[in-house]
A and B are shown apart, each in its own frame.
Chain A
Amino acid sequence: DAGVIQSPRHEVTEMGQEVTLRCKPISGHDYLFWYRQTMMRGLELLIYFNNNVPIDDSGMPEDRFSAKMPNASFSTLKIQPSEPRDSAVYFCASSLSGGIGELFFGEGSRLTVL
């Protein structure tokens, strides 16, 4: 079975450019999470969805960040405009309601903003 699929795996961009990260959750999972991992701050939850509806976006750093989930099989995290401090690994994870805390993570998208 396919796990959580993220793209791109690596992205290098220049400050001010728009960045779009993509995620395909595991089929049938109804929760989707976006995490950011940095050396300084560790793993931070940015936003999560339940049945395609954003439930908690309190971790989104600022208005430059936005996330959507147009259907059960696809989500995007967009940064516009990007800044060097956004450089991090962004993880998408999905889970099944009832599978409390059992998150399945993708391999991450490593973003470098120059």
Chain B
Amino acid sequence: AQSVTQPDIHITVSEGASLELRCNYSYGATPYLFWYVQSPGQGLQLLLKYFSGDTLVQGIKGFEAEFKRSQSSFNLRKPSVHWSDAAEYFCAVGVTGTASKLTFGTGTRLQVTL
């Protein structure tokens, strides 16, 4: 079965600094990969997704992620973080045939200091 690991439970960055959130997946074939964001008291919102093709994908709010098959990773990046980016970020994996049935990681809580 597929699985997702987000090794960082909590990350703090200064506003304006760059950000990278780590995600590693386990699946025998090429998975579908996603990043979602959850603001306090809200549901999750899709940031970006990877199915195939270009391994660098762009998402909303200035985020991007890079799929690296050799490392089984799909890390999320943003060159300059804004205070409004403080939230919890979830990496998720879907597999062929049941791609809408996602397995989520445990999340990384991002704190932004001013």
List residues of chain A with CB under 8 Å of any chain B CB: 4, 31, 33, 42-43, 45, 48, 56, 91, 93, 95, 97, 99-103, 105-108
> Do A101 and B99 contact each other (CB < 8 Å), given the known contacts A4-B43, A107-B41?
yes
Q: Which residue of B46, B99, B100, B107 is within 8 Å of A48 (Cβ)?
A: B100
List residues of chain B with CB under 8 Å of any chain A CB: 32, 34, 36, 41-46, 49, 51, 90, 92, 94, 98-107
Minimum CB distance partner of A40 in chain B? B106
List chain A residues, Cβ under 8 A from B98. 56
Task: Please state if A48 and B44 are interface contacts (CB–CB under 8 Å).
Answer: no
List chain A residues, Cβ under 8 A from B34. 101
Minimum CB distance partner of B42 in chain A? A107
Compute how far the CA of A105 lies from the CA of B41 in the bound complex, rounded to whole angstroms: 12
Give 3 nearest A-B pairs by CB, closest first: A105-B43, A100-B99, A43-B104
Q: Which residue of B41, B42, B92 is within 8 Å of A101 (Cβ)?
A: B92
18 contacts between A and B (CB under 8 A): A31-B100, A33-B101, A42-B104, A43-B104, A56-B98, A91-B44, A97-B100, A100-B99, A101-B49, A101-B92, A101-B99, A101-B100, A101-B102, A103-B46, A105-B43, A106-B43, A107-B42, A108-B41
Compute how far the CA of A107 lies from the CA of B40 in the bound complex, rounded to whole angstroms: 10
List chain B residues, Cβ under 8 A from A108. 41-43
